[in-house]
Amino acid sequence: MAIFDVDKYRNIALVGHGGAGKTSLAEALLFKAGVTNRLGSVPDKTSILDYTDEEKEKLSSLDSAVCALTHKGLHVNIVDTPGAPAFCGTAIAALAAAECAVIVISASAGIQVNTRKMMERAKEYGLGVWIVVNHIDASNVDLPGIVSQIQEAFGPQCVPLNLPTGGGKGVVDCFANDSGDADFSDVGDAHTALIEAVVGADDELMEKYLGGELSDDEARDAAAKAIVQGELVPILFTNSRGDVGIAEFLDSLESFCPSPVTGKIRTLVEGENETLLEPGQEGPFVGQVFKITTDPKTNIKHLSIRVHSGKLTPDMTVKTVDETKGTRPGHVMRSLGTEHSEIEAAVAGDVICLAKLDFNVGDTLCTGKPGKIAMPTFPQPMFSLALQSKARGDEDKISGALRRFAEEDPCFISERGTGGELVVRGMGDMQLRTYLTRMSPQHKPRRLSPALKPVGPRP
């Protein structure tokens, strides 16, 4: 698979509340770009991103999934995340891979709890933000009301980049057009609001705009900067199941999605020294683990890593602040759900996968002097359960399974209580029960017999 120049990468995290259609949107993007030969469906249980038996049964994402596509010379890495607040740990961790958080909102449900929380996390972490209003084909939707709700909740900088037209059968580009037919609102007004938001991030462009000298190309070239600075939050409309707004989403990535060059630049902290990691293939390799998955069939541990600087090949050695001895990375791969395809090297701007390495979410891997990159802030797990083994001999297996879940979910903790009992802590009953269910004989993710029972909440 091809390696791209750093400015040709686009990294997005699809976040938001459950049921908004994040996975359906990702599947539609993959299909439109020709990565898949059929449109994966969550309700039909044919999604390549919601691939576990649990996710197919619940028709909902329980973990993040990584995929990639190419479109008009761009390489786009996508992290699809769960929308349930109970599984917010993996969703927040996905922000570490991206320059742009795509907040997906259901047209029928509007802004929900996790919509607000993930918007706050993305802004706090310094990412640019898009808002996608999905499922515009749903019955009795109030799209003008949704736009008003978005602007009231998140500010007037939220401006439609496109608007539905033809009764929701298409969208009209409000940046490229200053007039046209739309199902609601006014294309000209949206065009003016977009231009004013862009020039608001650049004094020189503002002077040109006020003097009537600003060209469309200049405004388009500056759009990503305005998004990074929070002066512009574009709103896009899609019907992911009906192929509405999908091509327009892909086309908008070039100018309106920050690249690793124009987006958030991470800082490598080495003791008291701080170094801005200017993206490029020169210099030492620096990457950060943002996702860990253990294959339920092979028990192989896969690490998803965002590359921030340099280049990594299989014959090099990576190390961390805590593990300075060094480890060979082995095969360098890209992920598509459960599938992994080998590439020749990992380069700045890309999202790659390594297997069979013993690192943790948040670890920074370096070929030069090791340091650390800050992760997004995670909430403190406050919901606890004390667990008791039904048979004494099962405790080691149980502890091993719980450690694996803690490795994969930054908001799940397994520890010993003051009385020596096993205690698990997480974001809610749904999360803890899901992990306990994975250990049951019916699921056997690692052929474990859990033989344990919750004995009640722990204060």
State the pLDDT confidence band at 395, using cuts at 50, 70 and 90.
Answer: confident
Quick check: 451 pLDDT over 80? no
Q: Which residues of 419-439 are buried (b: 16+ CB within 10 A; e: fewer)?
A: eeebbbbbbbeebbebbbebb
Q: What is the dihedral of CA 447, 451, 456, 458, to 10 degrees?
A: -60
Lowest pLDDT segment from 30-39, 48-57, 263-272: 48-57
pLDDT band for position 53 (50/70/90)? Answer: confident
pLDDT at 295: 83
Among candidates 265, 291, 264, 288, which has minimal Cα distance to 93? Answer: 291
Q: Is the pLDDT of residue 433 over 90?
A: no
Q: Token pair 């020189």 is at which residue? A: 204
Task: Report if residue 378 sits inside a domain.
Answer: no
Range of weakest confidence among 123-127, 156-160, 212-216, 434-438: 434-438
Q: Are residues 202 and 350 in the same domain?
A: no
The one-character DSSP state at 309 is E
* pLDDT value of position 444: 38
Q: Are residues 148 and 232 in the same domain?
A: yes
Contact 359, 320 (CB under 8 A): yes
Predicted confidence at residue 123, as pLDDT, reads 97
Which range among 29-38, 208-217, 221-230, 438-447 shows the weakest confidence by mean pLDDT? 438-447
Residue 1 lies in a domain: no
- Identify the pLDDT of residue 54: 87
Q: Beta partners for 354?
A: 303
Report the domain count for the chain: 3
Share of the chain above pLDDT 90, in %: 78
Phi then psi for residue 8, to 5 deg, are: -95, 0
CATH (domain of 306): 2.40.30.10
* 288 and 435 belong to one structural domain: no
In-domain check, residue 371 = no
The CATH number for 238's domain is 3.40.50.300
How much is the average pLDDT of 366-383? 94
Q: What is the DSSP letter of 264?
A: P
**Within a domain: residue 261?**
no
Q: Is residue 372 part of a domain?
A: no
Q: Give the rounded percent of residues in the chain with a pLDDT score beyond 70.
A: 95
Domain residues for the domain of 354 are 267-366
Q: Are residues 123 and 177 in the same domain?
A: yes
The residue among 225, 256, 287 that closes a domain is: 256
**pLDDT tens-digit series, residues 258-286:** 999 999 999 999 988 999 999 999 989 99
For 137-188, the pLDDT digits (tens) are 999 999 999 999 999 999 999 999 999 999 999 999 999 999 999 999 999 9
Mean pLDDT estimate for the chain:
92
